[in-house]
């Protein structure tokens, strides 16, 4: 039989942990002749507001037991939800067992995700795993031909409008059912993730990825692609948790690049600036002040910086804001900004200013997911960080203290540059970056060429790479990549090591009189 198009609501079950909008929904239901069944805190809230409500325990003749763990898991409730009104056998059985039909179920779940995010202990987390709620939601969603399932206060307004028109429509109930199953799936995913974490499993046998749409985007990487921004409930500071203070809506590419920039700038303890273009740093520097760090980061590649993303690891100050505002910039992201800095940037109406409140911890773990045809890849976050005492000097000459500091700086930058990555640095500032090339030699040469162009723009008569150090995200498979860096003027090298031709590469370094250290750790980034 064809499901009814419009179903009037004569009886509704309400059991919600989030009370936002509850009274408006309840008053509309009662105003249109519906009886409300409810439990616990929801029933109490309705009574205190003077809204007539019947306890589920009175409706079922069975009390709430086990500290409220069992209150709706009874035939009188689930029969009323699951019974098909268009099947005579169902109608007859409901009448035989005095099961009254329920036309609308409004349920939102115990706040398990929020409890975990608060840092609560295992016992509290387990107590906030809802059992009856998901059962009610799934039952109502299954029988959406006859029952409306409401799982989010944001849906209340549409329900109220439907009541004014005589009841919920089949199209509306179908849409609500889909949203309901998505909600229970995400809820179960959060629970599964928590249990995996309790067992120390970053990559469990079955991984469920769930997200909540934060906003629809104008398009994806290109205008013919659809896109949306989803959040996964984690609290890592970044673009997903930031407040947008000003500017037009973020694009897909803005979000991706901002994430890359903010993760990179968090690597440094000193005041730092990272400029990113197309997911790659094109300038990175630390300095005593933000303004100086900006000037030095910009010097690395002023051409690529145009229209880029700027990330800072301190509260944005007015002096730095004034300098950044002289260049067309898509996004600025920082933990905070002074009022004076905000006023300066407010003159740039299209510039997006994002404030995150904190920095992500580069040493923190987590899982990163990338899609492929037919599935996805998952890996733990690259949280590797090299300490000076972990480095192995493999050449006759050891780096000077200044070179060693720059080597560590350059290797941290290389961690955030697309492979094959080559980073030249001097005085805690990048002076040349080569990214995303199929050949490491090409990355070394491109970085040197861009450095020479930047030198001309700065009025300097020699390449900025002269006297620099160089970092490679992976080993040099042949000596030619190293020789290209030496030709560019590098005096010290940091690389993972591990090539079958390491001896050949070391010999080339010794011949040139440069220092080289091995990290034993690779930073591929694809």
CATH code of the domain in which 364 resides: 3.40.140.20
Return left, alpha or beta for 463; rule: phi > 0 is left, psi -120 to 50 is alpha, else beta: beta
The CATH number assigned to the domain holding 112 equals 3.40.50.1380
- pLDDT of the residue at 3: 64
Which residues form the domain of 422? 386-518
Q: Are residues 369 and 395 in the same domain?
A: no
Provide DSSP, 165-223. Answer: TTSEEHHHHHHHHHHHHHHHHHHHHHHHHHHHHHTT-SS-SS-----EEEEEES-SSST
How do the pLDDT tens digits run along the chain, 526 residues long? Answer: 566 688 899 999 999 989 999 999 999 999 999 999 988 889 999 999 999 999 887 787 777 776 666 667 777 788 889 888 888 898 888 888 888 899 999 998 988 988 998 889 999 999 999 888 899 999 999 999 999 999 999 999 999 999 999 999 999 999 999 999 999 999 999 999 999 988 888 888 888 888 889 999 999 999 999 999 999 888 899 999 999 999 999 999 999 999 999 999 999 999 999 999 999 999 999 999 999 999 999 999 999 999 999 999 999 999 999 999 999 999 999 999 999 999 999 999 999 999 999 999 999 988 899 999 999 899 999 998 888 888 999 999 999 999 999 999 999 999 999 999 999 999 999 999 999 899 999 999 998 898 888 888 888 888 889 999 999 999 999 999 999 999 999 999 999 999 999 999 999 999 999 999 999 999 999 8
The helix/strand/coil state of 480 is: helix
> How far apart are the C-alpha atoms of 249 and 103, rounded to whole Å?
40
| Cα 127 off chain centre by | 27
Is residue 476 assigned to a domain? yes
Residues 75 and 186 reside in one and the same domain:
yes
Is 221 contained in some domain? Answer: no
In a domain, 225, yes or no: no
Pairing status of strand 515-518 against strand 492-495: parallel
Residue 509: helix, strand or coil by DSSP? helix
Answer left, alpha or beta for residue 467, where phi above 0 means left and psi between -120 and 50 means alpha: left
Residue 127 to residue 124: CA distance in whole angstroms? 5
Query: Which residue in the list 32, 142, 175, 348 is annotated as catalytic?
Result: 142
Please indicate whether residue 278 is annotated as part of the active site: yes
**56 lies in the same domain as 188:** yes
* Helix %, strand %, coil % of the chain (to 5): 40, 20, 40
Q: C-alpha angle with apex 426: 423 to 432, nearest 5 degrees?
A: 35
Query: Is 142 designated active site?
Result: yes
Q: In this predicted model, what pLDDT tens digit does every residue of 441-499 receive, in sequence order?
A: 999 999 889 888 888 888 888 888 999 999 999 999 999 999 999 999 999 999 999 99
Please tell me whether residues 351 and 396 are part of one structural domain.
no
The Cα–Cα gap between 386 and 381 comes to 15
pLDDT at residue 68 in the model: 65
- Give how far Cα 220 sits from Cα of 16, 28, 284, 489, Å: 36, 40, 27, 41
Identify whether 482 is part of a domain. yes
pTM of the complete model: 0.86
HSE, side-chain direction, 13 A CA sphere, residue 55:
11
Same domain for 379 and 394, yes or no, is: no
- Same domain for 177 and 249, yes or no, is no
Distances (CA, A) of 426 to 73, 297, 408, 452, 474: 68, 11, 11, 14, 20
Final residue of a domain: which of 357, 383, 409?
Answer: 383
Please tell me the distance from the alpha carbon of residue 193 to that of residue 464, in angstroms, as a whole number. 48
Q: How far apart are the C-alpha atoms of 502 and 514, rounded to whole Å? A: 15
DSSP letter, residue 7? E
- Do 490 and 398 belong together in one domain? yes
200 burial class (0-12, 13-18, 19+ CB within 10 angstroms)?
exposed
418 and 441, same domain (yes or no): yes
Inside any domain, residue 479: yes
Q: Cα(456)–Cα(458) distance, rounded to whole angstroms?
A: 5
My answer on whether 406 and 364 are in the same domain is no
Of 32, 175, 278, 348, the active-site residue reads 278
* Statement to judge: residues 352 and 483 lie in one domain: no
At 79-128, the pLDDT tens digits run 889 888 888 898 888 888 888 899 999 998 988 988 998 889 999 999 99
Q: Is residue 331 part of a domain?
A: yes
Among 383, 405, 435, the domain-final residue is 383
What is the number of structural domains in the chain?
Answer: 3
| pLDDT value of position 25 | 95
Euclidean distance between CA atoms 410 and 320, whole angstroms: 23
Say if CB 286 and CB 295 are below 8 A apart.
Answer: no
Task: Classify residue 232: in a domain, yes or no.
Answer: no
313 and 344, same domain (yes or no): yes
Domain final position from 198, 227, 250: 198
Is residue 210 assigned to a domain? no
Assess whether 251 and 370 both reside in one domain. yes
């Amino acid at each position: 039989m064809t499901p009814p198009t419009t179903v009037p609501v004569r009886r509704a079950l309400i059991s919600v942990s989030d009370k936002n909008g509850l009274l408006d929904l309840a008053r509309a239901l009662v105003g249109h002749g519906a009886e409300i069944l409810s439990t616990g805190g929801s029933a109490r809230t309705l009574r205190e507001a003077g809204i007539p409500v019947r306890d589920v325990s009175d409706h079922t003749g069975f009390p709430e037991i086990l500290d409220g763990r069992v209150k709706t898991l009874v035939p009188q409730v689930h029969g009323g939800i699951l019974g098909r009104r268009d099947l005579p056998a169902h109608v007859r059985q409901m009448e035989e067992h005095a099961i009254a039909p329920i036309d609308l179920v409004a349920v939102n779940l115990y706040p398990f995700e929020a409890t975990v995010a608060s840092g609560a202990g295992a016992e509290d987390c387990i107590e906030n795993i809802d059992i009856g709620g998901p059962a009610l939601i799934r039952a109502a969603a299954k029988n959406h031909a006859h029952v409306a399932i409401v799982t989010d206060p944001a849906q209340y307004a549409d329900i109220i409008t439907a009541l004014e028109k005589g009841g919920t429509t089949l199209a509306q109930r179908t849409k609500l059912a889909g949203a309901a199953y998505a909600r229970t799936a995400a809820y179960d995913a959060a629970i599964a993730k928590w249990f995996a974490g309790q067992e120390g499993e970053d990559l469990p046998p079955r991984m469920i990825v769930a997200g909540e749409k934060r906003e629809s985007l104008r398009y994806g990487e290109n205008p013919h692609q659809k896109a949306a921004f989803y959040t996964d409930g984690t609290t890592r500071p970044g673009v997903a948790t930031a407040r947008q203070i000003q500017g037009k809506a973020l694009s897909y590419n803005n979000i991706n690049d901002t994430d890359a920039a903010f993760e990179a700038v968090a690597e440094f303890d000193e005041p730092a600036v990272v400029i990113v273009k197309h997911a790659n740093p094109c300038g990175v520097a630390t300095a005593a002040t933000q303004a100086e760090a900006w000037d030095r980061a910009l010097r690395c590649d002023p051409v690529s910086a145009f229209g880029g993303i700027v990330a800072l690891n301190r509260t944005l100050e007015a002096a730095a804001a004034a300098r950044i505002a002289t260049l067309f910039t898509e996004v600025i992201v920082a933990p905070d900004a002074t009022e004076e800095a905000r006023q300066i940037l407010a003159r740039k109406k299209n510039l997006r200013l994002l404030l995150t409140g904190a920095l992500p911890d580069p040493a923190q773990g987590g899982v990163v997911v990338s899609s492929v045809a037919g599935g996805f890849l998952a890996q733990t976050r690259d949280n590797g960080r090299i300490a000076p005492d972990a480095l192995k000097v493999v050449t006759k000459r050891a780096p000077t203290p200044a070179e060693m500091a720059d080597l560590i700086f350059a290797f941290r930058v290389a961690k955030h540059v697309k492979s094959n990555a080559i980073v030249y640095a001097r005085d805690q500032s990048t002076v040349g970056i080569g990214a995303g090339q199929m050949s490491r030699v090409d990355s070394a040469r491109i970085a040197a060429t861009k450095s020479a162009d930047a030198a001309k723009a700065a009025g300097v008569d020699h390449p900025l790479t002269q006297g620099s150090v160089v970092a490679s995200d992976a080993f040099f498979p042949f000596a030619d990549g190293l020789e290209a860096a030496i030709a560019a003027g590098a005096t010290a090298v940091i690389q993972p090591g591990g090539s079958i031709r390491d001896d050949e590469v070391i010999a080339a370094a010794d011949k040139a009189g440069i220092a080289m250290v091995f990290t034993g750790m690779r930073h591929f980034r694809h």
